[in-house]
Structures are given as C-alpha cells and as structure tokens.
Chain A
Amino acid sequence: MAFDFIVLGATGMQGRIVVRDLLETGYSVLLCGRDKPRVSHFLNAYKKRTGFKFIEATKITTIINAIKFSKSNVVINCMEGDWNYEVFKACAMLGVNCIDLGSEIPVTRKQFSLNNIMKKKNIVGITGIGSVPGIGNIMLRYASEKFDTIENIHLGFAWDSNMKEFVVPFSIESVLEEFTDRAPIVEDRHFKYKIPLSNVIKEHHRYIGTEKELLVRHPEQYTFLHYFSRKGLKNIKFYAGFPEHSFKMILSLIKLGFASKKEINYFGAKIKPMNFLTQMLKNLGAPEGYTEKENLWVHIIGTKNGKRRDTMMECLVPPLRGWESAGCNIDTGFPASVLAQMVKKGAITERGCFSPEMGVPPSIFFRELKKKKMRVFENGKVIKL
C-alpha cells in the first residue's frame, strides 16, 4: 500500500499530534519511531490506514527503508532536530518532499546547502514548520510585504496554563538547552552571544499577561537574516516566555544539575543527567482539567514609503477541545500537518530547500490555522483572509 504521508518520530509528542490530525482528516500514515506502544491506539483505531516501522535516527538506512516502504512523497520529520540534515539528504536522494520542525543554526545552514539538489529533483525541503519557527516565520512573511525596509525583528512565544502545575514541555531536553546554551542575537547584522539566564526580562503579552522572558537560541536568527538582509535587517532577538511556576521549576532542574551533559559514573555505567531526566519525565502527564494557551509573536520595525512602520503580529492559541492533553504543543504539530497537506495538494509551488518565510502562501496557511481556532492578529486586529 502507498501511504499518503510518512511521519518520522511518530511516537513523540509532536509526531503524535501530526499523526492524529492527518488520520482524523482522512489520510493514511506510516508511523515510524522506536516506542510502538505509545501509538498502538492509532494503529488499532485506524488499522486500514496506518502502519508502523521501527526506525533508529542514528541508523539512516532504517529511515531510508521506511520511506521507500511508505511509497509516500511527503515525509514529515518530527524527530529531534539533530537528525534533520541527514533526513533531508536522504529525501533529496530518494526524490521525496520533506518538512521538519526545525533545528539548530549549524544544522539549518547545512540543510540550506541542499537547495540546488532539491530544486533539481523538483522537491521541497521545508525546515522549521512548527510554532516558532513556523507560524512566526509565515507571520513575518505576511507582514514583510507591507515594509520597504526592515530594521529590527523581535519574536518569541509566551504561554500560560489554567493550573499552576509543572507539566513537562514538549522536549525537556530542548527547553533545558534553551535555558543554558548561549543564545545568539543579531546586532547590526552580526551574531553575538548572550547567556540566557543573565538576560531575563519581564514583558507583557496579550492573552497571557506579564511574565519572565529570556533570550534563547533559535534558527530564526539565521533564516530571517538569510532572507531579509536584502531589506536591510540589522537586529534580531528571540525571547521565550514562561509562566512563573514553570520558569521556577526549570530553573530548579538546572540548579540541581539535571541539565548537565557531563556523564555521571553510576556503578561503572556512564549516564548523562539530561538523559536520565528525559527518561524520568517521559510518562509524566498533566493533571486532569489542565489546559495551556499561547501567544506566538513577531514584532517588526522598519519603514514604508519613507515612514517608520511598526507591526506586531500575533497568533493566539487557545486550548482546543479534545486536544487538551497536548497543551500548546498543538501549535507545533498542527502547522506541520497543515503544511504537509499543502505540499501534498500542490499548494507549495516553490522548489528547493527553504524555511517557511519563503514559499509558503500565508493566506492559505492562516486559513487552515483558523480551523484549529488559532487566529492571527496584526497590530491587535484579526487579519482578514
């Protein structure tokens, strides 16, 4: 059987959102991952439209074989970003389209190097289609068309929950890295690096309120500069906002040494505290009735017709009935599902390797988001589609 889509990392948090959305929309999906029991409910409920293949990110042949087996021409890669280049390379070789949730700047840069080969193969490789990167990039694309020049872009996310309980974010590893790894900012077109926890500010965001934000490393600094330097872009900063109860607990985990990647000698075995923590938190659920909401924002400052222009783009993500257990991870999983369907339907005409601020038509994309109750605002007003 030929599947409509193949999802790599289908057993993870984002992968499961993508899979569920595609299946509920009526598509067939080959689920690929390591932890089959975590998706057995999908396999049982959609027996005729699903299949499962065990893959191991470190063994690219398992991925290549799974893609070949699926006979699908759209690969949705929901694995950790470290493997994104290898997966893009495999897709380029196989001549199939691929989208992923984004990766670190060095990996993104390597992915972009596949642009020509992907163009030649008449396929797309779109990296960074989640919330931010993802929705944020497309909001920038939408707003940028109203600017002659762009000087500053500040962007980020801010979220909160109805209960002040610590619920494990989509990837505790990524979040701890965001808190501890040096954060690049673009200042006067040059990359500079800041220590996130030394640059904590308090900021107010509509729908969320005032909370702590810190500079974090994100691929947008690279992709925005890559595409918008021609408009004069000089400065980029990315801020991650957390509610106090979550911020405090993440900080505690760091202070207690769980963010460390230095191996601990455990009776002769070498274990990294970060890996231990990830394993420990894997099955920790949210309390009953727990919901999350989020504001994804991009603040653009530039000029139009010689006059200063200041635009705040926001995508407000409320809790979605039936998807509460996924929290605001839905705004990462849904965009991937939406874009994959756009690729499948031929709505993406651009070819090659790029990030979503290139080649993704905002109006079609935002219309799909609206169906998920995710609405996009321009300077406080809902954009008309």
Chain B
Amino acid sequence: MNDVRPLTRGKVLVLIGCAIMVLGGCNRQPITWETNIALPLVDQVWTWSEVIQGASDDSTLAVDVGSPGTIVFSGPVAEWGIESLTQLPDTIVSQELTPDFDGGPFAVPPGAVLLDTEEDIVFQGIDQAFTGIVLESGRIEYFVESSTNGYVELFYAFPSVTIFGQPVELQVVLTPSDGVAFETREGTIDLSGAVIDLTGVSGNEINRIASQLIIGTPSNINDTAQVYGSDSIRVQMHFQELLVREVSGYFGQETIGFDVEQQVFDPVDFPSGFVEINPTRATLQFRNTIAADLRLQLDAMSVDGLQVTHPSLGLPQLISRAAWEDGALEPAIWEMDLLETAPSIFELLSYLPQWVQVVGEGLLNPLGDVSGGHDYFDTRVPPALYLDLEWPLVGTIEDFQIARSLELSPTDLPGFNGDLLVRLTNGFPVEWTFNAVWRFPGTGIDPVFIEGLVPAFPGGEMLELRIPVDEQRLATAGVIDVVASMRSEGPVEFTGRERMRLELGVEGMYQVEVP
C-alpha cells in the first residue's frame, strides 16, 4: 500500500481559485438596448355598410353596386312581446296525510300503502285556455316532511310532463323521525325543455297537469313504522319561473298594447349632419306569426316626437292567423307604404333622428274561438315589424358626421420616442374632414389632436400625418375619439363601391429591457 499523502496548501488554494472562477459571473444585471421599430397597427376600411351601421343591428343591410348604387334593407325593426303567452304564473301544490285516529302507536308493516291518489294540479291565474306547452326553462322545488317513527316512501309522478320523452317523477324515502323534529327532504327538478300536457287526468281539461301521489312504507326496508294519530306527512311542490317556448290552446280575447320605439341613428355614432334620403321603395310590414287571428290598429307614428300621418293609421286591420304546418311557418302579413306618410318620413330621417315610434294595439281572436282551441304560438318567432327599403345613393350630403371611440390599453414601451403614422385614403367622391383626439382621462397628460382634410376621389385622395408619440402617452390608458364628416357640393351620385381607409402605423425608437 502507498503512503497516504495529505493535500498540500498549494493544491487547496488552486482548487478554491478554480471554484471561484467557475462561479464568477453569477451576479447579473438587466440587459438593455435601443431598437428602432416600424409597424403597421390599424387598417380600418369603412364601406357604406359601416357608414350607416347603427341604423340597424341586424345584418339585413346590403349595398347593391350600380350607377347609382342602392342601399337595400329588409329585416325586422321591432318585435312584439306578449307576456301572457310567454310566462306561466308560479303555482304551489300541497298535500298532507294525517291518520284518522287518535292515540297509537299502530304498527305499519313494510310495503304498506297509506295514500294512492290521482288528481290534477291546476295553474291558477291564467286567462287563456292552454292545452299544451313546451317550456324554455323552469323548475319544481319540492319539500317533503314526516313526523312518523318509521321509514316513509313517497312517489310523486307527473305522467303528462315529459323531458326527452321520459315522464317527470319524484321518489323520496324519509328516514324515521325522532318524535321531536320532522324528518325533511327538499330539492329541485329542472323543467328546461319539458313538454307538458295541460289537459289533466281526464284529457279534456285546460291548464291542468295530471299527477299521481303514492305514500307508504318502503318494501325493501325491513322496518315496522309506529304511527300515532298526531303524525303527519306533508308534500309541497312549487312550480317556479316557467318560461314558455311553445304554447297551444285558446289564447282568449286579449288586447295587447303596441308601443315600439326604435333607435335609428345613435347620436354617439352620428352626431349631426344631413343625408338626403329618397327611397324608391319603403314598406313597413306587420308579420303575424301567431296561429290566432289578430286585429291590429296603429294609432300614431312619430320621428323624434314629430307626428307623421298615414291613411292606414287609426284604422283597424284584421290580420288572419299564421299557418303552422309541420313546424313550417307561413306568417300572415299586413303592410303599409311608408312613401305615403305626410310629412315624408324619409325627409325627417335625412336629418339623422334618433328615434322612430309606432303606437297602437292588437286584439287577439277578435272573432272568438274560431279554431276550436287550436291557437299556437312559438315564442322564438314573435310577431314583428319588418322594413323593406330600397334607397338609391343619390343626393346631397351636408356635414354628415360619423363618430367612433376606441379605448387603448396601456402599452409599456420604455423610452419610446417616435411618431404615430396616420394615413387616410378616400374613395368617396366627396370631401372628408377628419378630426381625432387622443385623450388620457384622469391624467394631466395633454391630449393629442389630429386633423386633416381628405380631398374627394378621384384626385389627391390621400392624407398622411405624423403625430409625435412618447413613452408616457403609450404607458397611459387612453381613448381615441374620431369624428369624420362628409360634405358634397350639391347632389352627388354614389356607386356603392366607395371606401374610406384609415391606416395607423408606428415608427420610433424604444429601449428594450430583459431582466
């Protein structure tokens, strides 16, 4: 064996030196550098559809290209809600079973039936005679209690209420009461999508749900209940928030008010201006989608409070029932020509009003139960006012303003110093004025104002601006309010192909920091 040679001091120093050298450089700072970026940020094109967007939230607006182009609108502008057909009142059903003797106890063996009854649950407070409904949503909240000293089984069946073809049933087994407090059980049955036959146990009734209640002792639990004369078993079923999807029966003679206020031009989006509107076709239709006759009377029509008259206003119109066959709807339609209003409703609309209001009333089944209880209503397709409009794009435009707001989240670009590039390209044969304010609410930062004139197409239709931007503005939440206004020298013909394009880009230097 060789001699043991302890480490020399020199060797140890060498090793320690090596270790320190290897681990040197662990002390780290953030890395920073400056970089020049140039990026496109926004490319927004406004067509005629976007220009008049806000007049309708529906996508039924189209622009037909031509000479001149035509704006075509065909779609619903207001729907008629009928609450009495769409919501059933809440209903509570209670049953209590008490022995018809005093004293006790009497032994009740397993499998004994104490109560077996079939009866109708009647929905109170309904003026109509419903024979069937399909629920959009709703629920039964049940509560069961027993003071019996023994197991109690409760079976509550609703054979006329089915969900996905299965009848709704409730089966509860209560454990023995301690003789002091009631043994209780509660819960909820979801009725969404439930199909309910409202003709009751006999099949000839209205507004009734057939039910069967059986109370007894469970046969599969070997326990003999001790029943006293003072015992009781109570059941409570609470039908709640029943919203109807489909309903059938006889809807009665109900007069329903009709007060439609439709926003046309939101002043936030369209602050001011004049657009000459001369439609070649403008029809307002009322589409009856209920399989029940209707007598409709429109009493008044107004534009921002200004009354307009029409030969049909104030006259009752009998609208026949809609045809529903195998789920297919054939609505009954009544219409009025809006070009016959006085003053012209479109002359008023040219000044960008906010509201159009139509007031009237409708009477369901004005001739009584002519269908023999076969009225039908699908709440997903309510009666509605439809507008059918064709508007050639020819006319004078005076300071027609479109306003939009955009909220910008803070962007952390340390040391940024550069420009916001703004480029506007005009495809309209009219001059546009462009004003924007980049503001920083709640801060002391000065807003940035952007303005320019975009000449009419064709010609020098492009405007380019460079707005100085710094780190502070980018790091602050801001809002850009844009107002673009259009003006023509006299009547102008548009083709429908016109576009306005806004491009925003950024170019500048910022400091990158990598921690």
A binds B: no
Chain B contacts to A: CB under 8 angstroms: none
